[in-house]
């Protein structure tokens, strides 16, 4: 990304030496003249000082700053000799405390121009360009794998408070900055661009063609709560939280343990539709048994048996039960329903930082059984659910007594849950 040539400040006197003792007779500053931890200005300063290769602001040490409590009394004087001291102060500042700056700040730019900064608003204005440059650089790096041997995906996270047909649909970054968007069995070409509008981070997404993906994603999104591996996108009508995962493209054998803590149970031989391998958890995801779901209604698009269909089945199950308010009022289904849905529990399951698990299809359950000794020799084989619906009242499960896939009532309370993921 192109770097700005504008050097904002050489901050020799930014955190100006205040009083050298705690004199209660001194006039207290006003809160508006201080910087609180929960503020945009504080966030900008923390982001800038944490940047290892920052070229737009030069912090010159030593720096001395006062820390104030919520009553605007000085509680500590900090002597900062390097970036490490500065970072330690910013990261450990009490949420209700402030740090103080004495104005004016007289500064000289690299071209010899001098000017003064007289208050927090002027300081913020002068830091914004640097802050935005750093954020856009980070956003750009989010899109490109750090090494050629990695595949990186932004996956749509589960939100139990809304229906969403795009659970675990994903954007795969390409080396040229474009994306593939995977939704169910479809692949779409996509692009996205980060930009700042009125000091607010935005992401413009474009998915090519006229399809369900372009209809739901081709918007200017406001980016919130962005971290190194998550970001929340909002527009006037929709909100999605994306989770970034990067996988090293190495060859796995059946039975190999993966970084997510699972065991490989299937290799289709090459990457397509965003994945090559299937892995299973080593153990049941809970000691509690969950129901498959509502046993009085047939759910569309979750009767798929085949390998590679567990995710589609699981998404259909979760959305249906949300649409009938099953999680909050299971009696909408039947008196025997307890509100638990096995596939929904896999979506909120997390292991080793990986959050993209789901319920296997019936044929994927067979893969788990075929490789069960590779998964965990200490695992006591029990009945466990598939995501495949049989009919209006029944779903398929693995029967440990017969070692076969059979069907049972969706409200059965004696079936366990194993989760899988594609990668």
> pLDDT tens across 47-102, in order?
777 776 655 666 677 778 889 998 999 899 988 888 788 888 888 888 899 988 76
Q: Which domains can be identified in the chain, with CATH numbers?
A: 9-134 (no CATH), 150-248 (2.40.128), 263-422 (no CATH)
Pairing of the two strands 263-272 and 239-248: unpaired
Mean pLDDT of 5-21: 38
* Spatial distance between the Cα atoms of 383 and 394, rounded to a whole number of angstroms: 15
Buried b / exposed e along 370-400 (16+ C-beta atoms within 10 A): ebbebbeeeeeeebbbbbbbbeebbbbbbbe
Percent of the chain with pLDDT over 70: 87
* Spatial distance between the Cα atoms of 213 and 185, rounded to a whole number of angstroms: 12
- Which of 172-181, 262-271, 351-360 is predicted least confidently? 172-181
Of all helices (H) and strands (E), which one includes residue 317?
A: helix 310-323
pLDDT per position as a tens digit, 315-353: 999 999 999 899 889 988 888 899 999 999 999 999 999
Q: 316 with 388: CB under 8 angstroms?
A: no
* Spatial distance between the Cα atoms of 20 and 34, rounded to a whole number of angstroms: 18
pLDDT per position as a tens digit, 175-184: 777 899 999 9
pTM for the predicted model, two decimal places: 0.75
Residues in the chain, how many? 423
pLDDT above 80 for 142:
no
pLDDT per position as a tens digit, 192-246: 889 888 878 999 999 999 999 999 999 999 998 888 789 999 998 899 999 988 8
10-to-49, 60, 121, 126, 258 alpha-carbon distances in Å: 13, 7, 18, 11, 47
């Amino acid at each position: 990304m192109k770097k700005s040539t504008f050097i904002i400040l050489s901050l020799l006197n930014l955190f100006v030496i205040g009083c050298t003792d705690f004199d209660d007779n001194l006039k207290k500053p006003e809160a508006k003249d201080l910087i609180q931890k929960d503020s945009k200005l504080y966030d900008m300063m923390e982001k800038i000082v944490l940047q290892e290769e920052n070229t737009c602001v030069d912090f010159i040490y030593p720096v001395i700053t006062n820390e104030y409590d919520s009553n605007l009394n000085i509680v500590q004087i900090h002597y900062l000799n390097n970036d490490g001291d500065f970072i330690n102060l910013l990261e450990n500042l009490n949420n209700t405390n402030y740090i103080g700056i004495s104005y004016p700040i007289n500064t000289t730019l690299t071209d010899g121009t001098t000017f003064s900064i007289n208050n927090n608003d002027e300081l913020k204005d002068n830091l914004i360009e640097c802050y935005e440059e750093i954020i856009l650089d980070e956003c750009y790096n989010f899109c490109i794998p750090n090494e050629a041997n990695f595949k990186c995906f932004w996956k749509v996270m589960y939100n139990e408070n809304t229906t969403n047909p795009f659970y675990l649909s994903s954007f795969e970054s390409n080396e040229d900055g474009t994306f593939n968007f995977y939704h169910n069995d479809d692949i779409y070409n996509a692009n996205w661009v980060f930009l700042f509008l009125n000091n607010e981070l935005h992401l413009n997404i474009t998915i090519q063609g006229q399809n369900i993906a372009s209809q739901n994603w081709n918007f200017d999104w406001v980016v919130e709560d962005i971290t190194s591996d998550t970001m929340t996108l909002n527009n006037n009508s929709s909100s999605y939280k994306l989770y970034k995962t990067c996988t090293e493209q190495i060859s796995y054998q059946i039975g190999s343990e993966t970084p997510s803590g699972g065991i490989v149970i299937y290799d289709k031989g090459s990457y397509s539709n965003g994945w090559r391998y299937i892995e299973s958890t080593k153990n049941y995801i809970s000691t509690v048994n969950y129901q498959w779901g509502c046993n009085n209604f047939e759910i569309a698009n979750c009767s798929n048996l085949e390998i590679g269909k567990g995710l589609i089945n699981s998404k259909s199950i979760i959305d249906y039960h949300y649409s009938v308010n099953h999680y909050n009022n299971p009696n909408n289904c039947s008196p025997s329903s307890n509100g638990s849905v096995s596939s929904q529990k896999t979506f909120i399951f997390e292991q080793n930082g990986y959050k993209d698990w789901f319920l296997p299809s019936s044929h994927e359950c067979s893969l788990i059984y075929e490789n069960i000794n590779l998964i965990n020799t200490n695992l006591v084989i029990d009945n466990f659910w598939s995501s495949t619906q049989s009919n209006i009242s029944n779903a398929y499960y693995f029967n440990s007594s017969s070692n076969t896939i059979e069907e049972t009532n969706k409200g059965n309370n004696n079936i366990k849950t194993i989760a899988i993921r594609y990668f």
